[in-house]
Chains A and B, each alone.
Chain A
Amino acid sequence: MYSFSYHRPASVAEASDLIANAADGKLVAGGQTLLPTMKHRLASPSDVIDLGAIAELGGIVVNGNIVTIGAMTSHAEVAASGEVQEAIPALAALAGNIGDPAVRNRGTIGGSIANNDPAADYPAAIIALGATVRTNRREIAGEDFFTGMFETALEEDEIIVAVDFPRPEAAAYMKFENPASRYAMVGVFVARTGGGARAAVTGATDCAHRAYRMEEALAKDFSPTALADFEAPVDRMNADIHASAEYRAHLVRVMAQRAVAACA
């Protein structure tokens, strides 16, 4: 790892000043993605700004039909939260299946979505549930947030503060996980909401995305059989040593059907 200056601000305002004034600053949350990247010298920031001491970025609050999760909330905290388990059990289950217990103790929702790994789990939930990402500057609709492989709508030095999830009528997430890393080879999140059926797919393509055709099929009939003929576009699927494009396309349908069945 190359050397850098370390900062541990106590507020978002202070963090925002530090990152703005750094030559090539990086925020660090749980460090579960950034530190391995720095160890491999694939990133070499001049300044590392640790968000770990900022109390206002933590915590889970339920207000009516909105579940707000602070950016620095760990995967383990979301998984174990009674409030999340009650309001959106699929989200608690998703968080409880990220990586392994030690990764879940450090990794955060803000870090996961800012990183936007094509195989990350949270992006599928944020898009399918119609969540809103709140930053120190503005609000960004979940489905506009993930713009490409490791790319997001975040501007330079913008800090995620929290994510607001509206409570669905029912929701479920199914992932076919890579047995070594637990990342999603394909993950599908479906939700029945006041605004209709919603679905999002992760792991299959370069970036998590909303699955409009799947939603159309589910709008008519929210059942696994409604997706019996669903075909994901093979030419857009990722292909690697873990799975071919054809196999991933097949997994999209199977995971979607299982998720819909789990909503019943």
Chain B
Amino acid sequence: MKIDLTVNGQAASGEVEARTLLVDFLREQLRLTGTHVGCDTSQCGACVVMVDGKSVKSCTMLAAMAGGCDVTTIEGLANGAELHPMQQAFMDNHGLQCGFCTPGMVMSGLDIVNRHGRELDAATVRRELNGNICRCTGYQNIVKSIREGARAMGD
């Protein structure tokens, strides 16, 4: 079946099977491999993208369901060579080690800002990250990055 949607501000379309997951469409067909797959139980959050402005686990949505939607992936954040403030904050605060969880962490961080504003306390960030798992960092620097990225987004 054919789907038409918007990805990172540009019209995208593709021929998919009904069973194609959104994450596989993004990675395999659009070659946007920044969105990761870390589990098969919908628990890790490495695959989080924005669909119509809301965070969604792209491993738990069919590509067909995203027809007509506006999707933003990690690739859609930077402005040319200039990183998005949330990405920059992860870099500045050593918010990643292996980096596997990072795309999902950054997208979830932006979702937290959308819902809770730019002044975030650590407890809020920790609670809101309960659908994102990191096996490396111990979370301290992720929380720090998201708080700082949130503040920097207004500058």
Contact = CB atoms under 8 A, between A and B. Distances in A.
Contacts, number: 73
Contacts of B132: 100
Interface residues on A, range: 20 to 34
Contact of A36 (B17, B40, B48, B65): B40
A261 interface: no
A115 interface: no
A106 B56 contact: yes
Given A5-B18, A182-B130, A102 B43 contact: no
A57 to B, nearest CB: 15
B61 interface: yes
A4 B1 CA distance: 12
Contact of A103 (B40, B115, B131): B131
Given A32-B42, A52-B65, A100-B45, A3 B18 contact: yes
Contacts of B112: 101
Q: Which 10 A-B pairs have CB atoms at the shortest separation, nearest pair first?
A: A100-B131, A6-B18, A105-B54, A1-B19, A102-B55, A102-B57, A100-B130, A6-B64, A35-B60, A36-B42
Interface in A99-143: 99-103, 105-106
A97 B82 CA distance: 36
A101 B65 contact: no
Contacts of B54: 76, 105
A102 B62 contact: no
B108 interface: yes
Interface string B29-46: 000000000001111010
Interface residues of B, number: 29
B148 interface: no
A101 B17 contact: no
Interface in A203-258: none
Contacts of B111: 101-102
Contacts of A76: 54
A180 interface: yes
B61 A35 contact: yes
Interface of B: 1, 17-19, 21, 40-43, 45, 48, 54-57, 60-62, 64-65, 67, 108, 111-112, 115, 128, 130-132
Query: Of B54, B64, B65, B131, which is in contact with the most chain A CB atoms at under 10 Å from its CB?
Result: B65
A50 interface: yes
Interface in A133-192: 180-182
B108 A101 contact: yes
25 contacts: A5-B18, A6-B18, A8-B67, A31-B61, A31-B62, A31-B65, A35-B42, A35-B61, A35-B62, A36-B60, A48-B18, A50-B62, A50-B65, A100-B131, A100-B132, A101-B55, A101-B108, A101-B112, A101-B131, A102-B56, A102-B57, A102-B111, A106-B56, A106-B57, A182-B130
A186 to B, nearest CB: 19
A99 B54 CA distance: 15
Given A6-B1, A6-B62, A35-B60, A102 B19 contact: no
Given A3-B17, A50-B62, A103-B42, 8 more contacts: A6-B1, A6-B62, A8-B64, A36-B41, A40-B40, A102-B55, A102-B131, A106-B61
